[in-house]
Structure 1
Amino acid sequence: MKYELLLAILLAYICVTILLAYIAYKRTKSSTDYLIAGGQTHPFLMAMAYGSTFISTAAIVGFGGAAGVYGLSLLWLTFCTVFFGIFIAFVVYGKKTLYIGRILGAQTFPELMGLRYNSTFIQKFSALVISLAMPLYAAAVIIGAGRFLEQIAAINYTSAILIFAVVVAAYVISGGLKGVFYNDALQGTIMFVGMLILIIVTYNNLGGITAAHQALTNISTMVPENLAASGHQGWTSMPAFGSEIWWVVVSTLVLGVGIGVLAQPQLIVRYLTVKGPKQLNQAVVIGGVFTFFMTGVAFVVGALSNVYFMETLGKISLFAVVDPISGVPNIDNIIPLYVSSAMPEWFGYLFMLTLLAAAMSTLSSQFHVIGTSLCHDLFNYSSLTINRLAIIASLLISVYLALKLPLSIIAIATAIFFGICAATFLPAYTAALFWPRATKIGVIASMLSGFSISVLWMTFVHANEATALGISKILFGRDTLLEFPWVVVDPIVISLPLSAVVLIMVSLITVSEQPSHTRSLSK
């Protein structure tokens, strides 16, 4: 390993990052600059910031590893992220959010919701949910970066996590959202170049596009018996309809993230940073191409890694990443192992920058949102110093979780956070933009029910979380209270529709409680 080259690349990257953070620091003069980057962001910067925030190591490492197990069925998530996460998000939600946000003078997502319904409770509860749940997502992103650094640079996992966390903190704390945007433009560009090279080299190594995919189809006989019994039908086929794996892929990985993206606070705030609807239209193409390429490449390469490991190791990806200590496969290591094994050494360093860029762009936005939620929305402090202290606190919590969470957790943790946000925020947020009859009481009931149902389903029904938490086992002597298929049905399938129904029913009953300004804002 050429440690001198690795060190030179890292130092150059860190220096550029610090420089951009310093420029942003000098240009951050007010809370508006810190919270929404002054509200005059160029469409390219906004689109790259949105895309690189959305596409993190959770997508590349975590969901890429999931594609190594479940195959090209995850490309449905690519469709959802582009259609819902970019087109619907920008054209439908983004424009209305920008319009209402400007009228109300909102600078954060919780503040937008609170002002919309004239409710301090809604603002503070939104901020509380974000502050409690987002560190789990941040931890998943940190794990993705840590696992790759551990594989490529042969660094102790704990050391990699700590070093990475310090670098991220340096620029998000100093530059606010301007610092985030400047670095996101750089990091998004690095990500795109790295993924472009990755897909080209992968197809070249496997004999071309047609040969690679035919080889992936041919090894369907290598699906392990336990996966085949659960519905796995090969890496180029959808799982058997209604099977255990079908529910995991469709309800958790595709719907959980593909729909949940519409209710992501760290993404919603991006709409408030541009000048007007025209800029959002211009950002659609840039954001769409970026998101399509980043997720598509990650999922295709993750699936094709099975062909490479079969040819070189005689085993599929799942068995190539068995943890030597626990003896359990760690799917979060599939992409890092593939890159370190199949790619030239110089590309390993370049792709390391790709993943660092992906992780840092997402984490900076996450910590920025957590900090503003705690400081601006929950405790009503306007001091930038206190805001930055809140970011440090959230960073420490996320690092702790990254060191304590179990193996193969990245995709699951990401889907959990997206699902909680969807159930808690999406019906209320949608109504705030498009349904003037929604009432404050209806919104509060919807948010409380969506959050509560999600948590209860994870605690007592959904096997992944219920088994890990062990609360159901302690109270009732069973890992889960229900049987198949409910134990593999993601909470979002239950909590999101119920949250929407509660909003509609309670609002219709309490229509007289509607805020006086609601109807005029919905025009």
Structure 2
Amino acid sequence: MPTDPIVTLAIVLVYVGITLILGYIGYRKTNHAEDYLLAGRDTHPVIIALSYGATFISTSAIVGFGGVAANLGMGLIWLTVFNIGIGILLAFVIFGKKTREKGVETGAVTFPDLMGKIFQSPGLQFLSGLIILIGMPLYTAAVLIGGARFLESTLNISYTSSLIVFAAVVAIYVMYGGLIAVMYTDAFQGGIMFVGMTLLLVLTYVYLGGITTANSALDAMSNLVPASLTAQGMTGWASMPNIGSPIWFTLITTLVLGVGIGVLAQPQLVVRFMTAKDNRALNRAVLVGGPFILMMTGVAFTVGALTNVYFLQHTGKIAVDAAGGNIDSIIPVYINQAMPELFVIIFMLTLLSAAMSTLSALYHTMGTALVCDIWGRGKTCALSVRANQIGCLIMMILSVILALLMPEGIIARATAMFMGLCASAFLPAFAVGVYSHHPSRAGAIWSMVIGALTWFFWTAFVHTAEAKTLGISQVLTGVQTILGLPWSVIDPLVFALPLSFIVMILFQFRERVQIRQNSC
């Protein structure tokens, strides 16, 4: 439904105004580098929870994964289970407290800085920062695309214009307000996201005749699954694919495991734990973070699948066909066609909030990785606030360029790729580092190198979804992938993460043996 341009502009200006005011408050409270990098280590638990959740849930989850649910069905709900069980409970209770304690003990101010100081290795800090700079722009570009696509369809402006304006607004308050501004605006944007997604779920079921009627209608559509998807194992939008089929492997290994486990070692999320005043604040944050993630992902995946019912009833097409074949456009097209004018505006703010909250964290993380962990390594990570601001600007420009070059339908896959890389490279060393009193420096370095290289190799030479696009395997070997089914549909994480853990454990075992020998 078209929106009144004057009303839309007025509401957007109010939203942007509040966001910039919160950014200014963050700027006023940023007196030194630690404020800019870690929000003073004294953040309220509600703000921590909303900032963590809003950073985690971006347009990738709402637009990208909502589109994937529209294409592959409600089996994606398993990702919600992993997001809450691993991304909130395990992350905060098991890793969050130890991360905060190690952060205070070492004085670390970024994730690479934390890794470098735990293992007493400036080289490990550099390596962690380098992996961030290689992988995170891909995820950042995906988030930018999700927000820009919705602005494009809602405000009827060009994709390039919406992308540049969108990126610039976020860059302004991140550059000047640092992490204090990021977390304040995250909390505000998280509140908007919660309201918007709640309304989306309620209105969708109302329009489709209620929960039972809507879900039954979706289940009855199994005969409309395209032949190309049926051949790959899809059984319907309300059921799981056949076990062991290509779609099952994609759903479980790439989307559920890749994102569900990858969340544990995302640098922009780990830093949130280091902003807490004490462990009690992290415990209290769980009570807010759990319901927030449930509403964000659960609603996106449920509504995404149900858009098939709406489009069939109103256009005679399934969702992906109604969106012109671009799964990233399914949710924006559904909102603009199905929802009343006021909700279209509210949901636009929801998507803006989701994208801006994640982008602000990614800009901040990439900028500090460039300045603190690559350029300023060994200089206590506090070169100057101005240097960190320039770092954010450089990485913002790079991400915009990448977003303009990336193909359609890339949002969910780019997100899963980044999170899979983080888990494969960082998780084993991070887990051992925060819990062990004598972590193995060599183990951390080799675990990170082996995990990252294995992930890159499988991505470029085996996993069809990426290898086909990259074309590296085709050029070097003459074939699209060097292995066939089922290997070509199994996510790189499934091989890279266990191998990375094995390397870390072996070196850690050797470290303990040496300590015992020295003590004898």
* Bin of the TM-score, shorter chain as denominator length: over 0.9
Output the CA distance in 1 between the equivalents of 2:439 and 2:176. Answer: 39
Output the CA distance in 1 between the equivalents of 2:250 and 2:319. Answer: 19
* 1:382 partner amino acid: L
Q: Give 2:379's aligned residue.
A: none
- Deviation sequence 1:360-399 (CA, Å, 0-9, x none): 0000001101111111122225111111111011001111
Q: Give 1:304's aligned residue.
A: 306
Q: Give 1:317's aligned residue.
A: 319
**8 A Cα contact 2:218 2:238, kept in partner:** yes
1:346 maps to 2:347: no
Q: Give 1:116's aligned residue.
A: 118
* 1:81 partner amino acid: N
1:430 Cα deviation from its structure 2 partner:
0.4
1:37 Cα deviation from its structure 2 partner:
0.4
1:107 Cα deviation from its structure 2 partner:
1.2
Instruction: Give the secondary structure class of the aligned counterpart of 1:235.
Output: coil
**Residue from 95, 98, 104 that aligns with 1:96:** 98
1:261 Cα deviation from its structure 2 partner:
0.2
Output the CA distance in 2 between the equivalents of 1:435 and 1:185. Answer: 33
* 1:494 partner amino acid: F
Output the CA distance in 2 between the equivalents of 1:132 and 1:465. Answer: 16
Q: Give 2:77's aligned residue.
A: 75
Instruction: Give the secondary structure class of the aligned counterpart of 2:73.
Output: helix
Q: Give 1:200's aligned residue.
A: 202
- Deviation sequence 1:36-66 (CA, Å, 0-9, x none): 1001100000000000000000000000000
Output the CA distance in 1 between the equivalents of 2:514 and 2:420. Answer: 29
Instruction: Give the secondary structure class of the aligned counterpart of 2:240.
Output: coil
Runs of 4+, deviation exceeding 6 Å: none
**8 A Cα contact 2:100 2:274, kept in partner:** yes
- Structural RMSD (CA): 1.3
**8 A Cα contact 2:118 2:434, kept in partner:** no
**Residue from 6, 9, 30 that aligns with 1:7:** 9
1:99 Cα deviation from its structure 2 partner:
1.2
**8 A Cα contact 2:48 2:183, kept in partner:** yes
**8 A Cα contact 1:446 1:502, kept in partner:** yes
* 1:268 partner amino acid: V
* 2:332 partner amino acid: P
The 5 A counterparts of 1:89-168 are 89-168=91-170
**Residue from 78, 86, 89 that aligns with 1:87:** 89
1:506 Cα deviation from its structure 2 partner:
2.7
Q: Give 2:284's aligned residue.
A: 282
Output the CA distance in 2 between the equivalents of 1:507 and 1:80. Answer: 28
**8 A Cα contact 1:423 1:495, kept in partner:** yes
Output the CA distance in 2 between the equivalents of 1:73 and 1:457. Answer: 25
1:490 maps to 2:494: no
Q: Give 1:326's aligned residue.
A: none
Q: Give 2:420's aligned residue.
A: 419
Instruction: Give the secondary structure class of the aligned counterpart of 1:259.
Output: helix
Q: Give 2:480's aligned residue.
A: 479
Distance 1:36 1:513, change over 3 A: farther
1:370 maps to 2:366: yes
Q: Give 1:392's aligned residue.
A: 393
Seq. identity, %: 50
**8 A Cα contact 1:437 1:508, kept in partner:** no
Q: Give 1:434's aligned residue.
A: 435
Q: Can you give the 5+ residue segments of structure 1 that lack an aligned partner in the other structure?
A: 323-328
1:508 Cα deviation from its structure 2 partner:
2.7
1:31 Cα deviation from its structure 2 partner:
1.0
Greater mean alpha carbon deviation, residues 10-19 or residues 423-432:
10-19
Instruction: Give the secondary structure class of the aligned counterpart of 2:388.
Output: helix
Output the CA distance in 1 between the equivalents of 2:57 and 2:456. Answer: 25
**Residue from 138, 156, 171 that aligns with 2:173:** 171
1:435 Cα deviation from its structure 2 partner:
3.6
**8 A Cα contact 1:441 1:513, kept in partner:** no
Output the CA distance in 1 between the equivalents of 2:261 and 2:514. Answer: 30
Output the CA distance in 2 between the equivalents of 1:484 and 1:122. Answer: 36
* 1:252 partner amino acid: T
Q: Give 2:223's aligned residue.
A: 221
1:6 Cα deviation from its structure 2 partner:
1.2
Instruction: Give the secondary structure class of the aligned counterpart of 2:191.
Output: helix
- Deviation sequence 1:399-430 (CA, Å, 0-9, x none): 11111101100000000000000000000000
1:202 Cα deviation from its structure 2 partner:
0.4
Greater mean alpha carbon deviation, residues 241-250 or residues 18-27:
18-27
**Residue from 339, 352, 359 that aligns with 2:355:** 359
Structure 2-normalised TM-score?
Answer: 0.96
* 1:331 partner amino acid: I
- Deviation sequence 1:312-338 (CA, Å, 0-9, x none): 11011111112xxxxxx1100010000
**8 A Cα contact 1:221 1:234, kept in partner:** yes
Output the CA distance in 2 between the equivalents of 1:222 and 1:39. Answer: 53
Output the CA distance in 2 between the equivalents of 1:90 and 1:11. Answer: 35
**8 A Cα contact 1:59 1:298, kept in partner:** yes
Q: Give 1:335's aligned residue.
A: 331
- Deviation sequence 1:46-104 (CA, Å, 0-9, x none): 00000000000000000000000111101000000001000000011001111111111
Q: Give 1:253's aligned residue.
A: 255
Output the CA distance in 2 between the equivalents of 1:181 and 1:39. Answer: 12
Instruction: Give the secondary structure class of the aligned counterpart of 2:244.
Output: coil
1:230 maps to 2:232: yes
Q: Give 2:453's aligned residue.
A: 452
Output the CA distance in 2 between the equivalents of 1:507 and 1:192. Answer: 43
- Deviation sequence 1:429-465 (CA, Å, 0-9, x none): 0001224454101111100000000011111000011
- Deviation sequence 1:288-310 (CA, Å, 0-9, x none): 00001110000000000000000
Output the CA distance in 1 between the equivalents of 2:249 and 2:350. Answer: 31
Output the CA distance in 1 between the equivalents of 2:335 and 2:87. Answer: 28
Q: Can you give the 5+ residue segments of structure 2 that lack an aligned partner in the other structure?
A: 377-381
- Deviation sequence 1:151-200 (CA, Å, 0-9, x none): 11111111110110111111111100000011111100111111111111
**8 A Cα contact 2:8 2:345, kept in partner:** yes
1:353 Cα deviation from its structure 2 partner:
0.5
